[in-house]
């Protein structure tokens, strides 16, 4: 039996194979996944070589970070007494400890793909009206991605992360906002209070903000008429 004649296929896709433009539009508007795109999109815009799916890959990596991150939360304690040992144990003895490496590598990759995605949007001129608002949302998402990466860096509580955060927080001290450094660290130096602060930012506050902004980003793409085609 052909796949398209099976009950499962028909349950998922209500419409027969499209013929007229009207039928094709109804296939798009009545399917959950296809409905991500507006009813009419430029063929050139959805070609893989136009976007390289970099935004989609970034979104996928974010979901991977959430899933692997939840696994890590079952084990990791955000306190100076336990953090480093927990991290070592995750690498050596804990079942599913591979989640830690996955989390780390996907995090690095996400920083690279979000940057490449921004470069692609810039090169194809997709930041121009009517998409300028979505460009601003994107800039916020870039800042959030870098902030998630930065806050996660301290959590292993090893020498590299301690000194990296010390250096970065000294940069914050040079900002024209008095108290920016203390607000970030929760103390005068990197301490247990900083670890807790970074943990909450990394696991709750920043991902929540990112989810809200991503929803806005995707909704805007849809409302701006789908992906902008080549100029
Ligand atoms: C977590 C970060 C981000 C995610 C998950 C994300 C996701 C996406 C996705 C899935 C698309 C559809 C096209 C594609 O796959 O390339 C898209 C389009 C777009 N993104 Fe992002 N994005 C992010 C960050 C950014 C950044 C940093 C910018 C720019 C500063 C940006 C600006 C845009 C614009 C203007 C569009 C519309 C492009 C077009 O119509 O061709 N995004 N984004």
Give pLDDT tens digits along the chain (231 positions).
688 888 888 887 777 667 788 888 887 887 777 787 888 888 888 889 999 999 999 999 999 999 999 999 999 999 999 999 999 999 888 887 889 999 999 999 999 999 999 999 999 999 999 999 999 999 999 999 999 999 999 999 999 999 999 999 999 889 898 889 999 999 999 999 999 999 999 999 999 999 999 999 999 998 998 898 776
Peptide bond into 192 cis (omega under 30): no
- Residues 197, 11 contacting (CB under 8 angstroms): no
pLDDT for the residue numbered 1: 65
221 lines ligand 1 (CB under 6 A): yes
How remote is the CA of residue 138 from the centroid of ligand 1, in Å? 6
Which residue puts its alpha carbon closest to atom 13 of ligand 1? 55
Peptide bond into 109 cis (omega under 30): no
Which residue puts its alpha carbon closest to atom 24 of ligand 1? 138
Task: Indicate the burial class of 171 (C-beta count within 10 angstroms; 0-12, 13-18, 19 or more).
Answer: exposed
pLDDT for the residue numbered 178: 86
51 lines ligand 1 (CB under 6 A): yes
pTM: 0.90
Separation of alpha carbons 172 and 182, rounded Å? 9
118 lines ligand 1 (CB under 6 A): yes
Separation of alpha carbons 47 and 30, rounded Å? 22
């Amino acid at each position: 039996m052909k796949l398209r004649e099976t009950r499962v296929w028909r349950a998922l896709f209500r419409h027969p194979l499209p013929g007229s433009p009207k039928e094709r539009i109804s296939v798009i508007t009545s399917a959950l996944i296809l409905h991500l795109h507006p009813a009419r999109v430029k063929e050139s815009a959805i070609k893989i070589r136009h976007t390289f799916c970099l935004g989609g890959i970034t979104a996928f990596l974010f979901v991977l970070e959430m899933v692997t991150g939840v696994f890590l939360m079952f084990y990791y304690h955000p306190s100076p007494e336990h953090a480093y040992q927990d991290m070592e144990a995750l690498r050596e003895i804990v079942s599913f400890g591979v989640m830690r490496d996955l989390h780390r590598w996907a995090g690095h990759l996400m920083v690279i793909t979000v940057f490449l995605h921004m470069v692609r949007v810039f090169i194809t001129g997709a930041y121009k009206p009517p998409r300028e608002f979505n460009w601003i949302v994107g800039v916020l998402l870039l800042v959030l991605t870098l902030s998630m990466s930065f806050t996660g860096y301290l959590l292993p509580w090893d020498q590299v992360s301690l000194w990296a955060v010390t250096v970065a927080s000294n940069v914050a001290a040079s900002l024209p906002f008095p108290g920016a450094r203390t607000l970030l660290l929760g103390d005068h130096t990197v301490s247990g209070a900083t670890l807790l602060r970074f943990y909450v930012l990394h696991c709750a506050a920043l991902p929540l903000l990112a989810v809200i902004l991503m929803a806005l980003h995707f909704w805007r793409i849809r409302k701006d008429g789908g992906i902008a085609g080549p100029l």
